[in-house]
Amino acid sequence: MIKKKVLFAGFLLMVANCFAQTDMSLIPYRSGDKWGYATADKNVVIAPTYKEANWFSEGYASVMIGSKYGYINKQGRLVIPAKFTVAKPFRKGYAPNNNKAGGDSVLFAGASLEASGYEICINAKGTRMPKCPAINENSVTENRTPIGTVVREKTYTLPNNNGMFDKIADDYKIAGSDETYYIALKGDKYGVFNSKFETIVPFQYNSIKINRDEPMPFLQVNQGGMFGVVMPDGKVSIAPEYSNLNIVKAGNGKEYVIIQKNGKTYVKDISNQDIISTGYTDIAYDDAGGFVITGDNNNRGFYFMDNSVIQPKYKEIKMLNGGKYLMVKTAAGKTGYISNTGEEYFKD
């Protein structure tokens, strides 16, 4: 188990190195245990001679020769000697210039000459820079993630109309309306009523959780250990008949519901429309877009937002930034790349 985790961590690290303005006109191509580069139509233009080959960025790609990394250009010429233990993609940065607002645009890459992994910055000639350039903060993924807000526990003074509830747990509003809706507990069951003391959602659920990510909030409900979705007006959208329910917000702004029933996993949208109607052992949303699907044999495939599918046949699969290519780990445990149509850029 530990070995598997280490392998997958390395797999994700290779994926992460693809995200710095990756040039996908040449695809890392593997033949057996050697790597080179091919065009999209699988024409090999740089012969597979390297122990490892990474994607091009700003005209350079890091390759492993022996036990060290160097950089080649798109003609396959080694332009920075293989002397690094770490060689990250080249990217644009900004060096200070008192005579120019914003400084000078320069190319640089993070690299390490030491086994410890201590990183320096090098220029396009492989020379250590006296100082690492500044980068645009928005180019760093974690800097583009909005800061979450802390929801404080509220105190309610609403009068209890004829013993309608025992305790108010939360409340919500719907965009375009002044009405307030209250999630409340009566006995050991939850329901929802409005400011007119009208029951909107019957007091029949073991729990109700409000999802506020959209202008039109919705309720995740648990009834007898089964999960579903209720709209804010009380209409049941997804009946509480699923053993597990997980809501994810995709890059296209839509929210999807990953559900499990009778040991199979499916995907719907909030309106109960089927997205993935074929049952799989597991389905997980990929942050780059689409869903990783796991078959009965524990192999993985991919379901794209345009409804195209790569059937489960790989040990691991991960979409690369841009969506045109995916990184996979084959049944033999080797890394390779495939296109979003399933074309394989490797030969075992």
| Bridge partners, 50 (sequence order) | 35
Residues 6+ positions from 243 with CB-CB distance below 8 Å? 225, 226, 227, 260, 261
**pLDDT confidence of residue 8:** 42
Give pLDDT tens digits for 51-102.
Answer: 999 999 999 999 999 999 999 999 999 999 999 999 999 999 998 878 887 7
Q: Is 70 exceeded by the pLDDT of residue 246? A: yes
2-144: CATH number: 2.40.128
Mean pLDDT taken over the chain:
89
Give pLDDT tens digits for 103-116.
Answer: 789 999 999 999 99
Taking alpha carbons only, the member of 183, 148, 178, 157 closest to residue 168 is 183
Give pLDDT tens digits for 317-329.
Answer: 999 987 899 999 9
Report domain extents, the chain: 2-144
Any idea which residue has 């000639």 for tokens? 125
Q: Specify the DSSP element, H or E, that contains 122.
A: strand 120-122
What pTM did the predictor assign?
0.82
Which two three-digit tokens encode residue 39?
């065009």
